[in-house]
Chains A and B, each alone.
Chain A
Amino acid sequence: METVLPYANLFLTGTAITLLVTLAVLPIGICLGLIGAAAKLSGDPVAMAYANVYTSVVRGLPELLVILVIFMGGQQAVNAVADLVGYEDHIDFDAFTAGVIALAFMFGAYATEIFRGAILAIPKGQTEAAHAFGMGGWLTFRRITLPQVWRLALPGLGNLTLVLMKDSALLSLIGLNEIIRVVGIAAQATKNATLFYFVGALMFLFLTFITMTIQKRLEIRANRGVARARG
């Protein structure tokens, strides 16, 4: 305990950064997922091919590779494009930005499949009924489809969030001061790696536990209108 306490501040910052990355990725990833699902369900060959390439490539590439490519290659690419359009200043591409882009890119691919499944799972009769009531397309989407997509996609999105939180650990390798990095710094300073990596693991378990609790709450709320069979 005496060894760990002096580093409590550092750990809190690390945990905050892990959380911040997760919260930054979620909205971007969910938007990418919705766009991907729309493309896959559009019936348009080009859009479908595009979405299929996106999801299959992400499925086959290691997370670490995507992060390293976007961090190291992104710098190169952004500045090359900036040069091309005549922007002379050097654009800085820091670990946080690169990490959020990389993680959102991967989150979006898996979210695409989840949203696609959720949209397909909504009975067609409901949209037809909404049309029969005179609702327009947008109204139907907003009032009938979207609330149910949310309900059906929640378990999948919850799992993805847990995966995302664990993948954010990889950002320590491009120098972001998240949990693993700060724990590693403390481990080096005290020469007690076993203890500090264990503490780091516990912090992840704690974050996992909180995420699962929030997910359960949201699921109960999203399912409040649904009748359940009594078991």
Chain B
Amino acid sequence: MQATTKDLLIRIVRLSFYALTALVVVALAWGLSSLNYGTIARHIGKVPGGALLTLELVTLSVILGFFVALPTAMMRLSPNPFLRYPAHTFIYFFRGTPLLIQIFFVYYGFAQTDLVRETFLWPVFKQAYWCALFTFVLNTGAYSAEILRGAIQAVPAGEIEAARAFGMSKWTAYRRVILPRAFRIAMPAYGNEIIFMLKGTALASTITLLDLIGVARTVIARTFKPIEFFLTVGIVYVVFTYIFLWGWNRIEKRVNNYLSQQS
């Protein structure tokens, strides 16, 4: 059999990977042995607090963001232009600009305007925590709205027609048939969005909050050991991500279990 160039390419890649692996193992061993573990041990007590704040921010933003996303998605699908266009603009703005500029806009801009300063909003928005949470909720709300919109549109037409044939009104059909089905369809994309939010909350550290990254940056500012502490919180992030993915996949399998019996 003739060896194709694809095979040849793969062989070259394979060889370089072997060489690289040897190099990486050596570099890792050398790097890990030269880390300052004493400093890590001395400051690791601050990590759980940061982890807790990160988890708190993700959980609250995702839950509150869902309540922003659902009405937005339904407005986006509405035939009424007065509902559709505002939803569209909101989604376009939050998906089209970086989270960093959104958070700066709220913290340095919006929170300092008279509209906020002179009203009951000030006690809330003078705190970086609420500014961050507010931004995260709107941001994940916009992304999730697009996910839910796609999922609602992906509900098989036959199922909606069946609901109508049973005499369900539009809202009953939404509540009993369309939305439960759409949530199941949205599960994989929604899981991704939650992971992006977990990573996105790192930006809370830019407005003085002490989440995982915030903690790492304060410790590094004092100890000048960037690799040690970024490695420590990096491991925490990766562990969180994969624990979450594992749990999410289980839920997904469970709620979509009935589908496997169809085929």
A residues with CB within 8 A of B? 35, 38-39, 41-44, 46-47, 50, 56-57, 59-65, 68-69, 72-73, 76-77, 80, 127, 131, 136-141, 145, 166-167, 169-170, 172-173, 179-180, 183-184, 187, 193-198, 200-201, 204-205, 208-209
The answer to whether A65 and B234 touch across the interface, beta carbons within 8 angstroms, is yes
Q: Tell me, rounded to whole Å, the shortest Cβ–Cβ distance linking B85 to chain A.
A: 16
Cβ contacts under 8 Å, A39 to chain B: 13-14, 17
The answer to whether B237 and A131 touch across the interface, beta carbons within 8 angstroms, is no
In chain B, positions 58-113 with a C-beta closer than 8 Å to chain A are: 92-93, 96-102, 104-105, 108-110, 112-113
Number of B interface residues at 8 Å Cβ cutoff, please give it.
Answer: 56
The answer to whether A200 and B113 touch across the interface, beta carbons within 8 angstroms, is no
Which listed residue, A57, A169, A195, touches B100 by the CB 8 Å rule? A169
A169 closest partner in B (C-beta): B98
The answer to whether A205 and B93 touch across the interface, beta carbons within 8 angstroms, is yes
Which listed residue, A44, A138, A140, A197, touches B17 by the CB 8 Å rule? A44
The answer to whether B242 and A201 touch across the interface, beta carbons within 8 angstroms, is no
Of B120-128, B180-188, B199-207, which binds chain A?
A: B199-207
Q: Tell me, rounded to whole Å, the shortest Cβ–Cβ distance linking B216 to chain A.
A: 8
Cβ contacts under 8 Å, B102 to chain A: 201
The answer to whether A46 and B17 touch across the interface, beta carbons within 8 angstroms, is yes
A41 and B23 alpha carbons, distance in the complex (Å): 22
Of B1-9, B43-51, B169-177, which binds chain A?
A: B1-9
The answer to whether B220 and A44 touch across the interface, beta carbons within 8 angstroms, is no
The answer to whether A138 and B202 touch across the interface, beta carbons within 8 angstroms, is no
Q: Which 3 A-B pairs have the closest CB atoms?
A: A137-B4, A137-B5, A138-B5
Q: Tell me, rounded to whole Å, the shortest Cβ–Cβ distance linking A60 to chain B.
A: 4
A-B contact count (CB 8 A): 169
Of B150-158, B225-233, B255-263, which binds chain A?
A: B225-233
The answer to whether A204 and B21 touch across the interface, beta carbons within 8 angstroms, is no
B residues with CB within 8 A of A? 2-10, 13-14, 17-18, 20-21, 31, 34, 92-93, 96-102, 104-105, 108-110, 112-113, 195, 198-203, 205-206, 213, 217, 220, 226-227, 230-231, 233-234, 237-238, 240-242
A187 and B107 alpha carbons, distance in the complex (Å): 12
B20 closest partner in A (C-beta): A50
A149 and B97 alpha carbons, distance in the complex (Å): 29
The answer to whether B5 and A139 touch across the interface, beta carbons within 8 angstroms, is yes
Q: Tell me, rounded to whole Å, the shortest Cβ–Cβ distance linking B20 to chain A.
A: 7
A68 and B234 alpha carbons, distance in the complex (Å): 11
B8 closest partner in A (C-beta): A137
Cβ contacts under 8 Å, B220 to chain A: 72
The answer to whether B113 and A184 touch across the interface, beta carbons within 8 angstroms, is no
A182 and B200 alpha carbons, distance in the complex (Å): 22
The answer to whether A60 and B109 touch across the interface, beta carbons within 8 angstroms, is no
User: Knowing A64-B202, A73-B226, A131-B4 touch, does A47 contact B105 (C-beta < 8 A)?
Assistant: no
Which listed residue, B96, B109, B226, touches A76 by the CB 8 Å rule? B226
The answer to whether B234 and A61 touch across the interface, beta carbons within 8 angstroms, is yes
B199 closest partner in A (C-beta): A62
Cβ contacts under 8 Å, B101 to chain A: 169, 179-180, 183, 197, 200-201, 204
A204 and B101 alpha carbons, distance in the complex (Å): 10
A208 and B201 alpha carbons, distance in the complex (Å): 23
The answer to whether A60 and B238 touch across the interface, beta carbons within 8 angstroms, is yes
Q: 14 A-B Cβ contacts within 8 A?
A: A39-B13, A41-B10, A42-B13, A50-B20, A59-B241, A60-B240, A69-B231, A138-B6, A138-B8, A139-B5, A140-B4, A179-B101, A194-B110, A204-B101
A37 closest partner in B (C-beta): B13
The answer to whether B14 and A193 touch across the interface, beta carbons within 8 angstroms, is no
Q: Tell me, rounded to whole Å, the shortest Cβ–Cβ distance linking A94 to chain B.
A: 16
Cβ contacts under 8 Å, A68 to chain B: 213, 217, 226, 230
The answer to whether A136 and B5 touch across the interface, beta carbons within 8 angstroms, is yes
